[in-house]
A and B are shown apart, each in its own frame.
Chain A
Amino acid sequence: MPAENSITTMTARRTLSQADLDVYAQLSGDHNPIHVDPAFAAHTRFGATVAHGMLLFSLVRAQLEQHYPGAAMHSQHLTFPAPAYTQQSLEISLVIQGAAAADELAIRTRITRPDGQRCLEGDCVLHLAPSPQ
């Protein structure tokens, strides 16, 4: 791995199960059958259940917390180019872009499938100083 990559990019892997999608459906209230009903999803253009977009964002958010504990999220832009399926090893990447302001950090956020397709692509800005509350 190139040295500059190891400085600016942090990656983690996660394989989602149908049970994970079911838990997220309970927490979010989003019980759309494309996420929770394998028999229904099999007959759609996706061919199987797909992860909720905001479950993917959840994986990104937890990685941000792991690397920048206590940082507040100022903003996040998200796109969902390709569906993410269960039982795939998803790569979660944080690519550091630099300081957006004195106490802010701009980070590119990505989730990539094993075939290289992007399931989530986005940019976020973190406040590194804990927010007063």
Chain B
Amino acid sequence: MSGDRPGLQALTVGASARIAHVFTAAQIDDWWQLAGTAGARAPAHNSVPEPLIAGLFSCLLGERLPGHGTNYLKQRMVFERPAPAGTALTASVTITHIRHDKALVDLDTVCHDAAGRIVCRGRALVRFDR
């Protein structure tokens, strides 16, 4: 019904994409200002907020693997340790399962700090109907 879905056909289990990124203290302040409702105060601690770490996965899924046309359905995350501002983070996504009949793709998602320790691990589910 959805044609051959050449984009989906081109995906393979084990395919991976990664991105390295540093969030500065100033960016974290900007994030609290954006996310907070009126009257809310940003906390004193300045570890990288979880949604910015999650955003690295989102970027990879939407821009790289599977890429444009990705419909983000689910994301599960466990946060193992805080990442201070200025830390070099490396996020990666790896395809673990493809359901061709439903155009669904499962991926492992993990983010490491500069020392190689896991900051966040989890799984994503996306639809890639292309």
Contact = CB atoms under 8 A, between A and B. Distances in A.
Main secondary structure of the interface of A (DSSP, over half): mixed
Contact of B59 (A28, A55, A70, A79): A28
Given A14-B37, A66-B40, A70-B43, A78 B58 contact: no
Interface in B18-47: 21, 27, 30-32, 34-37, 40, 43, 45, 47
Interface stretch (B1-9, B75-83, B99-107): B75-83
Contact of A75 (B62, B63, B72, B78): B78
B98 to A, nearest CB: 20
Contact of A27 (B34, B45, B76): B34
Contacts, number: 103
Nearest to A127: B79
Contacts of B63: 30, 32
B122 to A, nearest CB: 8
B51 A57 contact: yes
Interface string A39-59: 000000000000011110111
Interface string A69-105: 1101111111110000000000000000000000000
B13 interface: no
Interface residues on B, range: 20 to 34
A59 B54 CA distance: 13
Given A13-B37, A57-B51, A70-B43, 10 more contacts: A28-B59, A32-B63, A52-B55, A54-B54, A54-B55, A61-B35, A61-B50, A62-B37, A75-B78, A79-B73
11 contacts: A20-B34, A29-B59, A30-B58, A30-B59, A57-B54, A58-B35, A59-B35, A61-B50, A69-B43, A76-B79, A79-B74
Interface of B: 21, 27, 30-32, 34-37, 40, 43, 45, 47, 49-52, 54-56, 58-59, 62-63, 68, 72-79, 82
Interface of A: 12-14, 20, 23-24, 27-30, 32, 52-55, 57-59, 61-63, 65-66, 69-70, 72-80, 131, 133
